[in-house]
Amino acid sequence: MRIGIIGAGRVAHHLARALSARHQIVQIYSRSLDKAAQLAQQVQASAIHSPAQFDATLDLVIIAVSDQSIAAVIEQVHPHLPEVLMVHTSGSTAMQLLQQVHARAGVFYPLQTFSLEREIDWSQTPVFIEAADEDDQAVLLQLANELSQRVYAYSSEQRLSLHLAAVFACNFSNYCYDIARQIVDVQQVDFSLLYPLMLETAQKATQADPKTMQTGPAMRGDQNILQMHQQLLADAQRLDLQAVYQLFSQQILERHQS
């Protein structure tokens, strides 16, 4: 397939590199021509800085921009590529948002957290596809199957729930790590002391229901420790972290007493 990519961020990088193994990435379009050029060079594509430069004979265009830019991008690009299959890569944006402007609309959503610095294992990364047209769905299914062993046809509603769950499992657990780091930094304690604990906690949760794996003072209902920890955060004038501590402890306590 001859593929165009819109965006030059983390998702665009990872998808472009993975797809370039079997397909031709023809063009990269980004608001930042610099970023487009950087990515284009890695996958032997051309960087373009205007949607008018798009090759109208592309087989597929992947919109890998932030959710809030998808609507503007499709308005801008559609007139130049009216017949080309276009997909976005978002968990929470409905396909309808594309489809109301562009008939050959679809979704190609990889459920993973992407960083520029780290390679991911595509074969184990679940990919969720959706398409307005049946033939287009078959095309996306084949493309996804080349990358991943875990491909699913999901509706926009199903994808939204999954993305919401992912925000808790990924973005919010990472924020818990961020808080832990802030706490040890104040004491000039090495954050790496917590690594075995963080990895073991994640690994455990992939082998049994996280509810049954819950540990800690809130789960045990240990009021003394809960109060000491909150006092420590209050003394450090971290009312923000105290609010998190209080809310989580209360919810864990209730969940494990009932």
Which residues between 198 and 227 bind its own copies (CB under 8 A)?
A: 198-211, 213-220, 222-225
- Note whether 165 binds its own copies by CB under 8 A: yes
- Note whether 160 binds its own copies by CB under 8 A: yes
Q: Residues binding its own copies: what is the number (CB under 8 A)?
A: 94
Cα-based distances in Å from 194 to 169, 178, 218, 225 = 18, 12, 19, 19
First and final C-alpha spacing in the chain: 55
- Note whether 68 binds its own copies by CB under 8 A: yes
Nearer of residues 33 and 232 to its own copies, judged by Cβ: 232
At closest approach, how far in Å is the CB of 248 from its own copies? 5
Contact 55, 25 (CB under 8 A): no
Using CB under 8 A, which residues numbered 86 to 115 contact its own copies?
Answer: 92-93, 111-115
Q: Which two tokens stand for residue 10?
A: 């983390």
Beta strands in 100-180 (DSSP E): 105-110, 127-131, 151-153
Nearer of residues 103 and 219 to its own copies, judged by Cβ: 219
Q: Quick one: which segment of 18-26, 47-55, 136-144, 170-178 binds its own copies (CB under 8 A)?
A: 170-178
Q: Is 251 left (phi over 0), alpha (psi -120 to 50) or beta?
A: alpha
- Note whether 258 binds its own copies by CB under 8 A: no
Residues 6+ apart with CB under 8 A from 123: 147, 148, 149
Nearer of residues 83 and 190 to its own copies, judged by Cβ: 190
